[in-house]
């Protein structure tokens, strides 16, 4: 007889089994089920406890109704009375499903009376799809790498967007710019943020720092913060800043309090005195008064960052870019950063986001990131998700959602137990994405690479979310490498050769990623030799499709695809071999530290840029 804890796990969306990308079969054990249930906030250490949860059911959760904005929703409430609370706070009442009004774009709440009591219903009034962009192209470049000394800064983007706009490019994609950990400058991965609804202030104060070969966050980060402290001390409270404080309200103050407390107690709230681990505790309320000046400083930093990023976006559009900045949304957040301190209930604890075993990681991956809890996300009307999207699209015309496979299911790795997939509310999350894209008149791209669930790409395409078509992965056959021709690429996509997590064009051809893994201790000499032999075959195979090994041929190939957008990588123009990030490594490889030669100015004036623009024009981009 099946253990009731496994039954409960399956009913709450935890997968009882799965196949990894290598074809390996994995089955959920009882210990892992108990751990994953606990991460969801469900305490079921015994079968008796599991039975109680099964008896209780999930009737307390709201229904989700997705429908077209500007129409009357169909809700199966019969002749029951109802109360509709629009997202702006206004309310109407009525009786029976037929009397429901036309509902505008947004996320609204309906409460209806049933024999068992009131039933909450989340109404997601969304456009049926996001309109696809016209054929175009743009560039991706790491922001941190755009400075010749110190760390790249928002203002270093200015010459790049001006040059790209003048040449007909539609977007500039950069690494995530979420708030980081100023008191721990060694934690600089842009994909391990402290808060995804706030900005990284380490990208302010351009020009501070040293001209080192690699970006040195540990030394130059504190130097930059000292310069910002001095700048703040010289400035008075301007009406513009005071207006910003008023608009942002309590949420900004809470974030700024976290930053101020981090300077006293360290970056991770789990190590703080227990009385300060709750932002609403008496101790935290007192800290708001005790640290008032520091709170004001950190709020000012956010204002400066928002103003700087908004200025870049404004200049990009003024320079002729169709979309401007293309921002990247990290898949998760640090489990003990500002985001989880402020909004504890929206996240799962006791399990991390990760990935099942694959060709790069035989034991799977643990990313050390807190996932959204699908139960509380649904219970709270997707407010955390919608606000996260809205904050990103405030400063951009395009947003990339990292690992959008997580809209269907996320892979959770519990503490001390094997991981498994957890089902996410895909259709509702996609509705939120369409709503926020409509508000911002923006484009959404989903990184749909890896172990793709059946039906996900179809759902993304139907919603108008563009996929990612990476040339090194676009193949008809993997055993004897056979790459797709340009006309076989999907239309609803961004086409590129690589990504920040993959080798550059030149690096891939040389097998630099394989050599780097060997040097990092991830491959044996025998495995390295085998992989290099396979790469030689792959290079020959892709050359049969692209027909030559030069950059013009690569860019012509990408430009000729049906994909609506093409992303040209700055590293290709500079003939760079080393990739920006080698997954599965930390200190073994200089992740997120490799500069672009000459920085943003050199990229903006690069001699190859006009040739790229000409190739794109020849292909109606």
pLDDT at 496: 98
Claim to verify: residue 449 and residue 362 sit in the same structural domain: yes
Cα 314 to Cα 161: distance, rounded to the nearest angstrom: 10
Q: Are 545 and 484 in contact (CB under 8 A)?
A: yes
Q: Distances in Å between the alpha carbon of 53 and those of 50, 99, 101, 191, 350?
A: 5, 36, 36, 36, 20
Element (H, E) at 366: strand 365-369
Rounded distance between C-alpha atoms, residue 419 and residue 411, angstroms? 7
Residues 308 and 431 in one domain: yes
Question: Which residues, listed in sequence order, are joined to residue 256 by a DSSP beta bridge?
Answer: none
Q: Are 371 and 467 part of one and the same domain?
A: yes
- Determine the pLDDT at residue 207: 74
- DSSP code string of 259-297: HHHHHHH-S-GGGS-GGGSSTTSHHHHHHHHHTHHHHHH
pLDDT in tens, 418-430: 889 999 999 999 9
pLDDT of residue 88: 95
Q: What is the pLDDT of residue 438?
A: 98
Contact between 584 and 360 (Cβ < 8 Å): yes
For residue 359, the model assigns a pLDDT of 65
Question: By the 8 A CB rule, do 72 and 103 touch?
Answer: yes
609 vs 570: CA distance, rounded Å = 9
Tell whether 84 is covered by a domain.
yes
Q: Is residue 253 domain-resident? A: no
Per-residue pLDDT tens over the stretch 579-592 = 999 998 889 999 99
Residue 121 sits in the same domain as residue 153:
no
Quick one: pLDDT band at residue 362, thresholds 50, 70, 90? low
| Mean pLDDT (whole number) for 128-137 | 98
- Print burial letters for 100-133: b (CB count within 10 Å at least 16), e (below 16): beebebbbbbbbbeeeeeebebbbbbbbeebebb
How far, CA to CA in Å, does 470 sit from each of 227, 467, 497?
A: 41, 10, 5
Residue 547: pLDDT band (50, 70, 90) is confident
Minimum mean pLDDT range among 13-27, 283-297, 315-329, 471-485 = 13-27
Euclidean distance between CA atoms 300 and 185, whole angstroms? 20
| Boundary of a domain, candidates 126, 151, 168 | 126
Task: Give the predicted TM-score (pTM) of the model.
Answer: 0.95
Inside any domain, residue 294: no
Token output for 83: 């109360």
pLDDT band with cut points at 50, 70 and 90 for residue 59: low
The string of pLDDT tens digits covering residues 568-577 is 999 999 999 9
Two structure tokens written together for 310:
């908004």
162 in Cβ contact with 496 (< 8 Å): no
Q: What are the two backbone dihedrals, phi and then psi, of residue 164, each rounded to the nearest 5 degrees?
A: -65, -40
pLDDT of residue 58: 60
pLDDT of residue 360: 62
| pLDDT for position 592 | 98
Residue 228 placed within a domain: no
Distances (CA, A) of 166 to 163, 171, 566, 612: 5, 12, 17, 13
In a domain, 461, yes or no: yes
Q: What is the mean pLDDT of the chain?
A: 95
Strands 365-369 and 195-199: unpaired
pLDDT exceeds cutoff 90 at 20: no
Whether residues 26 and 142 share a domain: the answer is: no
Helix/strand/coil percentages in the chain, nearest 5 = 40, 20, 40
pLDDT score, position 471 = 97
pLDDT for 591-620, tens place per residue?
Answer: 999 999 999 999 999 999 999 999 999 999
* 212-236 per-residue burial string, b: 16 or more CB within 10 A, e: under 16: eeebbbeebbebbbebbeeeeeeee
Q: Which is nearest to 444 in space by CA: 452, 432, 454?
A: 432
Residue 361, pLDDT score: 67
279 found inside a domain: no
| Residue 45: inside a domain | yes
Statement: residue 534 has pLDDT above 60: yes
State how many domains the chain has.
Answer: 3
Q: Which residue has the tokens 């040195």?
A: 216
Same domain, yes or no: 478 and 414: yes
What pLDDT sits at residue 481? 95
- pLDDT attached to residue 60: 66
Provide the 8-state DSSP code for 320: T
CATH code at position 426:
3.20.20.80
Residues 111 and 17 in one domain: no
Kindly state whether residues 155 and 190 are assigned to the same domain: yes
Say whether both 491 and 370 belong to one domain: yes
Average pLDDT over residues 235-252: 93
Q: Are residues 439 and 564 in the same domain?
A: yes
Percent residues over pLDDT 70 in the chain: 99
Residue 365 has pLDDT above 90, yes or no: no
Return the closest-CA partner of residue 325 out of 395, 401, 394: 395
Let me know: does 21 contact 407? Beta carbons within 8 Å.
no
Look-up of token digits 């490019």? 169
Residue 66: the pLDDT is: 98
Indicate if the pLDDT at residue 522 is higher than 60.
yes
Calpha distance 129→458 (Å, rounded): 12
Task: Say if residue 41 is in the same domain as residue 79.
Answer: no
Whether residue 612 is contained in a domain is answered as yes
Q: Which residues lie across from 112 on neighbouring strands?
A: 82, 119
**Bridge partner residues of 565 (DSSP):** 136, 494
Give mean pLDDT, residues 177-196: 97
φ, ψ of residue 493 to 5 degrees: the values are -160, 165
DSSP string computed for 139-182? EE--GGGS-SSSS--GGGGHHHHHHHHHTT--EEE----EE--T
Q: How far apart are CA 5 and CA 50, in angstroms?
A: 5
Query: Which long-range contacts (C-beta less than 8 Å, at least 24 apart) are formed by 220-223?
Result: 220/150, 220/151, 221/151, 221/182, 221/185, 221/188, 222/185, 223/150
Residue 33, helix vs strand vs coil? helix
Kindly list the distances between the CA atom of residue 581 and the CA atoms of 156, 403, 500, 589, 591, in Å, as whole numbers in the listed order: 21, 16, 6, 8, 5
Which of 15-24, 45-54, 277-286, 483-492 is predicted with the least confidence, judged by mean pLDDT?
A: 15-24
Q: Which helix (H) or strand (E) holds 113?
A: strand 106-114
Kindly tell me if the per-residue pLDDT of 170 is higher than 60.
yes
Domain enclosing residue 88, as ranges: 70-126
Question: Is there a single domain that holds both residue 105 and residue 171?
Answer: no
Give percent of the chain with pLDDT exceeding 90: 89
Does residue 584 or residue 91 have the better pLDDT? Answer: 91
């Amino acid at each position: 007889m099946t253990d009731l804890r496994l039954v409960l796990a399956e009913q709450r969306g935890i997968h009882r089994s799965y196949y990894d990308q290598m074809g390996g079969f994995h089955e959920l054990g009882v210990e892992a089920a108990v751990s994953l249930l606990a991460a969801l906030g469900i305490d079921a250490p015994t079968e008796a406890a599991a039975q109680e949860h099964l008896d209780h059911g999930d009737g307390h959760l709201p229904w989700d109704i997705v429908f077209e904005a500007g129409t009357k929703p169909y809700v199966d409430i019969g002749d029951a009375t109802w109360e509709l609370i629009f997202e702006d706070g206004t309310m109407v009442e009525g009786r029976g499903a037929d009397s429901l009004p036309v509902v505008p774009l947004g996320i609204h709440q309906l409460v209806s009376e049933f024999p068992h009591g009131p039933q909450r219903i989340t109404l997601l009034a969304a456009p049926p799809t996001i309109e696809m962009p016209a054929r175009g192209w743009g560039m991706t470049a790491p922001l941190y790498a755009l400075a010749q000394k110190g760390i790249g800064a928002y203002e270093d983007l200015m010459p790049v967007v001006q040059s790209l706009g003048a040449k007909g490019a539609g977007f500039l994609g950069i690494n995530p710019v979420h708030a980081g950990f100023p008191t721990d400058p060694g934690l600089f991965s842009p994909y391990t943020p402290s808060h995804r609804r706030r900005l990284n202030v380490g990208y302010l104060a351009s020009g501070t720092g040293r001209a080192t070969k690699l970006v040195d966050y540990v030394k130059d980060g504190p130097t930059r913060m000292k310069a910002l402290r001095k700048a703040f001390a010289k400035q008075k409270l301007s009406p513009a800043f005071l207006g910003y404080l008023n608009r942002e309200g309590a949420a900004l103050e809470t974030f700024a309090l976290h930053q101020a407390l981090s300077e006293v107690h360290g970056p991770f709230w789990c190590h703080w005195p227990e009385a300060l681990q709750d932002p609403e505790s008496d101790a935290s309320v007192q800290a708001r008064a005790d640290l008032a000046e520091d709170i004001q400083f950190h709020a000012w930093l956010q204002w400066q960052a928002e103003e700087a990023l908004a200025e870049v976006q404004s200049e990009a559009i003024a320079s002729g870019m169709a979309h401007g900045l293309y921002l990247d949304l990290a898949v998760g957040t640090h489990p003990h950063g500002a985001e989880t301190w402020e909004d504890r209930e929206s996240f799962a604890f006791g399990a991390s986001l990760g990935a099942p075993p694959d060709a790069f990681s035989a034991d799977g991956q643990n990313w050390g990131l807190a996932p959204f809890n699908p139960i509380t996300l649904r219970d709270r009307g997707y407010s955390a998700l919608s606000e996260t999207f809205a904050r990103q699209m405030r400063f951009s015309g395009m947003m990339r959602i990292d690992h959008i496979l997580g809209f269907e299911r996320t892979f959770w790795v519990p503490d001390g137990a094997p991981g498994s997939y957890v089902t996410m509310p895909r259709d509702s999350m996609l509705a939120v994405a369409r709503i926020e894209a409509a508000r911002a008149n923006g484009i959404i791209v989903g990184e749909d690479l890896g172990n793709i669930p059946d039906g996900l790409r179809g759902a993304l395409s139907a919603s108008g979310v563009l996929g990612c078509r990476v040339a090194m992965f676009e193949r008809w056959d993997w055993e004897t490498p056979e790459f797709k021709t340009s006309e076989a690429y999907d239309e609803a996509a961004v086409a590129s050769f690589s990504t920040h997590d993959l080798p550059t064009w030149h690096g891939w051809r040389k097998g630099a990623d394989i050599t780097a893994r060997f040097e990092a201790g991830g491959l044996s000499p025998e495995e390295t030799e085998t992989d290099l032999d396979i790469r030689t075959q792959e290079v020959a195979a892709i050359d049969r499709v692209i027909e030559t090994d030069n950059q013009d041929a690569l860019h012509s190939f990408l430009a000729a695809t049906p994909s609506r957008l093409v992303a040209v990588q700055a590293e290709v123009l500079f003939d760079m071999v080393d990739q920006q990030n080698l997954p599965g490594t930390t200190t073994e490889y200089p992740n997120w530290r490799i500069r672009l030669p000459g920085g943003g100015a050199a990229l903006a004036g690069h001699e190859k840029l006009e040739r790229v623009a000409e190739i794109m024009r020849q292909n109606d981009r």
